[in-house]
Amino acid sequence: MRAGFGFVELGAATPRPQPGNPKPRLFRLTPDRAIINRFGFNNDGADAIAARLAARPPGIPVGLNIGANKDSADRAADFAEVTRVAGGSADFLTVNVSSPNTEKLRDLQGAEALAALLDGVMTARDALPRRVPVFIKIAPDLDDAALSDIAAVARNARIDAIIATNTTLARDGLTDPHRSETGGLSGAPLFQRSTAILARLYRETGGEIPLVGTGGIGSAQQAWDKLRAGASAIQLYSALIYQGFSLAPRIAEELDTRLARDRISLPELTGSGAGDWL
Ligand SMILES: Cc1cc2nc3c(=O)[nH]c(=O)nc-3n(C[C@H](O)[C@H](O)[C@H](O)COP(=O)(O)O)c2cc1C
């Protein structure tokens, strides 16, 4: 929180605690500036996480990423359950239907399954004492038809923002011997793919739903590119592992300088270069 971020997201939280996959489950691909992880939602469960969130000191907004238990009989119901238990303690909720590390979780991105899942989440959210915004987070490995389905479902469900993207199953252009490890790939090699998806989603949503750009950001230039491709906000993770915690304020300061120099506001910048990626 003192690292200069405007907001953070933690999780994923599942209804019941679970240990995640056996170790090793995180691999640094140092020459590729990439990470492969297959954590599999190791977490203390929604009750414990809700208590920790509720006890946090005041500060920047904290979002909670929501997942389903690996052995759940009804995964869609898990998302509603975490919303019910922990939603009131978070500043926003992220429906994570895009992790590659829980088998078949990504199938929940299909139009029908997603609409039903979001219906449950929104009903649980509407029963909370205050209106907590709900985001969905998508995979980078989606074709145009799937993206337009997701945009339509998100619009109908009145989703507050879409986060693009989670980690990829692709393994193009990697050199590190760990490249064949099972899991999701993040970091530098994800940048092109996730930014192209972001731009396509921006075209699909016409700026109607705010987009959060995530995937491979390691510099102010890349943050700028995500904003131009369609993002209203950005998130990063893997680059922290390689560049350390001074990265966020460095990027934020450089973005401020560039916005002032180009006499452009953030809303004007958002999506102004989406065409470059289509
Ligand atoms: C170790 C690790 C664990 C992650 N766990 C989650 C998770 O629980 N839920 C989620 O939505 N994304 C998770 N992600 C994906 C990141 O939030 C992010 O979408 C992805 O890494 C792309 O951004 P980056 O290239 O800046 O890392 C994880 C990524 C890493 C590296």
DSSP assignment of the chain:
-TTS-S-EEEEEE-SS-B--SPSP-EEEEGGGTEEEE-----B--HHHHHHHHHTPPS-S-EEEEE---TT-S-HHHHHHHHHHHHGGGSSEEEEE---TTSTTGGGGGSHHHHHHHHHHHHHHHHTSSS---EEEEE-S---HHHHHHHHHHHHHTT-SEEEE---BS--TT--SGGGGSSSEEEEGGGHHHHHHHHHHHHHHHTTSS-EEEESS--SHHHHHHHHHHT-SEEE--HHHHHH-TTHHHHHHHHHHHHHHHTT--HHHHTTTTGGGG-
Residue 3 above 80 pLDDT?
Answer: no
Residue matched to tokens 């990829």: 168
- How far apart are the CA of 12 and the centre of ligand 1, in A? 10
Could you tell me the pLDDT band of residue 72, with boundaries at 50, 70 and 90? very high
| pTM for the whole structure | 0.98
Establish whether residue 95 lines the binding site of ligand 1, counting it when its CB lies within 6 angstroms of any ligand atom: no
Could you tell me the pLDDT band of residue 109, with boundaries at 50, 70 and 90? confident
pLDDT, mean of residues 54-59: 95
pLDDT, mean of residues 166-188: 97
* pLDDT for res 126: 98
Q: What class does CATH assign to 8-277? A: alpha beta
pLDDT, mean of residues 170-186: 97
Q: State which ligand 1 atom lies nearest to the alpha carbon of 239.
A: 26
Establish whether residue 137 lines the binding site of ligand 1, counting it when its CB lies within 6 angstroms of any ligand atom: yes
| Residue numbers annotated as active site | 99
Could you tell me the pLDDT band of residue 133, with boundaries at 50, 70 and 90? very high
Could you tell me the pLDDT band of residue 2, with boundaries at 50, 70 and 90? low
Residue 196 above 80 pLDDT?
Answer: yes
Establish whether residue 217 lines the binding site of ligand 1, counting it when its CB lies within 6 angstroms of any ligand atom: yes
Establish whether residue 242 lines the binding site of ligand 1, counting it when its CB lies within 6 angstroms of any ligand atom: no
d(CA 123, CA 131): 11
pLDDT, mean of residues 141-153: 96
- How far apart are the CA of 263 and the centre of ligand 1, in A? 33
Summary mean pLDDT of the chain: 97
Q: What percent of the chain has pLDDT over 70?
A: 99
Six token digits for residue 21: 């996959």
Q: What percent of the chain has pLDDT over 90?
A: 97
Could you tell me the pLDDT band of residue 4, with boundaries at 50, 70 and 90? confident
- How far apart are the CA of 262 and the centre of ligand 1, in A? 32
pLDDT, mean of residues 237-252: 96
Residue 1 above 90 pLDDT?
Answer: no
Six token digits for residue 73: 């009989």
* pLDDT for res 229: 98
